Structures are given as structure tokens and as C-alpha cells.
Amino acid sequence: MRLFASLCFLALLSCSSSQPPQKAGKQPPLPADMPAVWKARFETSQGPFVIEVRKEWAPKGAERFWKLVTSRFFDDSRFYRVRPGFIVQFGIAGDPSVQSLWNAAPLADDSRRESNLRGTVSFAQSGPGSRRTQVFVNLKDNRALDRDGFVPFGRVIEGIEIFDKLYAGYGEWSPPGRGPEAARIQTQGNAYLNARFPRLDRILKARPLLD
């Protein structure tokens, strides 16, 4: 229960996001439908990593992550919860007005088909029907999280070592620790993090890798 409680977050309702216009010559047009298997490349303050997303693992979670990446939701956001040897959590927009757009509907649950092993990526949640935008990467085999409803939808296939380099000096989030408060990030965004937690590592941008 303590592991479950520590991963719970204040719920933010989320919704479908329209695709932003693409600059000519910068990127091929996005496919009309999400591929069954696709990759997202994240550029960060510690270097790049790539997540491979598999629809068969968690169709609803994979679709939500597709919408987040293709709408550039993760750009200029922070790794706000870093617990060495356990998880790294991210997925609150740096701009509260962007975060507030994801407030229309909760994400329905997926049945778990894969275990929370090192490198897998799952949505954070606080109970049935509560997944929104926050995700975490498992830094070790966390099979204990399987029974609490955390459902992997992808895995880090390149750059897993990046997560072992992220700044963890602020500790666990508050409460119970003294790290960034998830509720305040949601309402104050990067202004709060830059003022109080300037050493947090950041996501510079995230984009789908298209063949």
C-alpha cells in the first residue's frame, strides 16, 4: 500500500489533443492513426533516450501517450520525481494552461499484459479510471507494482542510462518528503520549479520517430 500511495498523484482530467501544425521540411506528416508499434525520442538535459510504445501491451495508454507526444506536451517539462533504484516520474506540463487542457475526461483502464520491469514505462494512477498525463520509468524490476494496477505501455530501448544520471537531490515529493509538490506543479508549472527546484533535469523536446 505504501508503494501504491507514493505513486498516486492528484488527478488531472485529460482530453484528446489536436495535432499542432508541422513546419514544412522539418518533419514528415503524422500518420492518420497511431502505429501498432512506434517510438518516441526524448531530448533531455542529460542526453537522449527512446521509448518504444506497443499498442498490444496497453491500447488506451499507448494512444494517450501518442497524443501527448504528438501534441508536444512534454516539451520543456521536468523530471520532478527521481527515486534512484526505483522510478523516475514525469508528465506534468511546464505551462499550467497546457496542463489545464487535459481536463476533459479520464483515461479508461487497460488490462495489464506486461510486468513493471526495469525500463518499462507506465502511467501513474491513484485507482481505477484515474490515469491522466503522468508517467514513470521503472529503474528496477518493480513486480510489486503489477498488482496495484500500474500497466506498462512501452519500454526504454535506448538511453536507459540517462535515468540513472538525473538529479535526485531534492528527494521524494511533498508530502512526505521535501521535493516538488505535484499539485503546485500542475497549477504553477515551471515558474514554481525554476524558483524552488532549479537543479531538476528537464525534457527539452519529445517527438515521434517516423520511418
First CA to last CA across the chain, in angstroms? 42
pLDDT tens, 169-211? Answer: 999 988 888 999 999 999 999 999 999 999 999 999 999 998 7
Q: What is the pLDDT of residue 54?
A: 98
Q: What is the mean pLDDT of residues 84-112?
A: 89
Quick one: cell of 130? Answer: 484515474
Domain ranges of the chain: 2-12+36-209
Interval 115-140: pLDDT, tens: 999 999 999 998 898 899 999 999 99
In the CATH scheme, what is the code of domain 2-12+36-209? Answer: 2.40.100.10
1-17 exposure pattern, b = at least 16 Cβ within 10 A, e = fewer: eeebebbebebbebeeb
pTM of the complete model: 0.86
| Cell representation of residue 138 | 521503472
Predicted local confidence at residue 105, as pLDDT: 63
What is the DSSP annotation of 138-167? Answer: ESS--GGGGGGT--EEEEEEE-GGGGGTS-
Q: Indicate if the pLDDT at residue 26 is higher than 60.
A: no
